Amino acid sequence: MSANISPFNKGIASILFAALVWGTTGTAATFAPAVGPIAIGAAAMTGGGLLQAAIALPSLIPAWNHLRQHLPLLVLGGFAVAVYPLAFYASMRLAGVAIGTVVSIGSAPLFAALLEMIFDGSRLTSRWMLGAALGVAGIALMAPLGHEPAASTPLAANSLGIGLGLGAGLTYALYSWVARRLMLHHIPTRTVMGALFGSGGLMLLPVLMVTGAPFFQSWTNLAVGFYMAVVPMFLGYLAFGYGLARVEASIATTITLLEPVIATLLAVIVVGERLSLASWLGMGLVTLCLVWITTPAHQLTRVIRKNISLRH
């Protein structure tokens, strides 16, 4: 049965899994309120990145000469991996969770498409632009911007938070593009992800050493750090890397717009938050975006024609 599943669909499924587990990070972090967001991000990416490098080590050593031929790309990707969590969590601290998430995740597909257009000569299709617009609009509706504590912060801090959110979106798109570019040079997926995330994890190690003391204040805090490193960052990025080898970075980052939907649902079910009608509408738009982006055009045409024929 699995033999009939196309590589593209396997890639889509892997990226959906990654978005699913990434969407759990916000709820997981609420179980360790004493741990700051920078420490959470550094621990998750350091632990997950070094685990990626560890399982890839048998292939990293013999592939070193091949990787060295693309050293500028490797350094750029590792730097993007290290900067992304710091920019993302700092953005949420300065501009508020809603604004930081909207700007960071919502801008990533746009940056990914621009990178592919500039460096790969790809064209932005009207189909992709419509899907991305639906997804970004959905995330914007899901963010209760008027109720964020950050609304009372100084304008300079709020503006800096938005700028950091754009930086997070750019670095997320950048390491996704670099990873796929290296894979297209016939470097195995596991080797690429191990090299990128291992180097990014090493860059973040000093940040974790400075900010990570609260993890050792309780077993709960330690368990949260372990979960964040192993499940969302290690298993999630393992699946994301598998998907990137089969799906363009612009499509992959658009699919991960599912992440804030999952995060919102968990906030309702686990944390007890309540959603507005706009938030539910936003989740519907993101779901529509995912269907539009991931379903081949000929299948959508067939479904639409079938529905029209049934009505008549």
Q: Tell me the pLDDT of the chain (312 aa) as tens digits.
A: 455 778 778 888 899 999 889 888 777 877 888 888 789 888 988 998 899 888 888 888 888 888 888 889 899 999 999 999 888 877 777 766 666 776 777 778 778 888 888 887 777 778 778 877 887 787 677 655 444 444 445 556 667 877 888 899 899 899 989 988 888 888 888 888 889 999 999 999 999 999 989 999 999 999 999 998 999 888 988 888 888 778 877 777 778 777 777 777 777 777 676 667 877 787 777 777 766 766 665 454 454 444 444 444
- Look-up of token digits 């939907």: 261
Neighbours of 141 (CB within 10 A): 20
Alpha-carbon distance of 303 to 305, in angstroms, equals 6
| 38, 43, 45, 165, 232 from 162: Cα distances, Å | 16, 23, 22, 5, 24
pLDDT of the residue at 204: 92
- pTM for this prediction: 0.74
| CA 82 to chain CA mean position, Å | 13
Whole-angstrom Cα distance, residue 82 to residue 80? 5
